[in-house]
Amino acid sequence: MSERLQPGDTAPAFTLPDADGNDVSLAAHKGRKVIVYFYPAALTPGCTKQACDFTDNLDVLASAGYDVIGVSPDKPEKLAKFRDKENLKVTLVGDPDKTVIEAYGAFGEKMNYGKTYLGVIRSTVIVDEEGKIERAFYNVKATGHVAKIIKDLGI
């Protein structure tokens, strides 16, 4: 089980491949706020809903100074299929070995239909311009979460 991040913590640095296999790093976003969200799997109903919500609100978030990066354990090929099928505009990166997912506290015990197992915990971490954690939300719901973030951030 990974340790959950708290406001004020330094955001773990990362460089991961996007849907086209290009490296995306948190460091490249220094000076801007970044919403890093973690989701279990591309092309699943909840994850599609969440990615579409972020895409639909990308202009609002960007104009308020936020970049958005979605992280899942999927390989770039699957991310490209997901992006193209759903017309997603949000940056999606893959973390197949779950190193970054674990570093952000987004991997651990989950329960589904009464069974406990290890997996990606749907989470959202907001990183400030200096690379510090501003807010961290764990066990979030796919539906309505983006609207809640916008409201919480006063956008």
Q: Which residues are catalytic?
A: 47
Are 68 and 31 contacting, i.e. CB atoms less than 8 angstroms apart? no
CA distance 121 to 101: 9
Distance CA 109, CA 133 (A): 23
Across the chain, where does the E strand assignment appear? 15-17, 23-25, 33-38, 66-72, 91-94, 107-112, 115-120, 123-127, 133-138
Assess contact for 91 and 68: CB atoms under 8 A. yes
Rg (CA), the chain: 14
SS3 89: coil
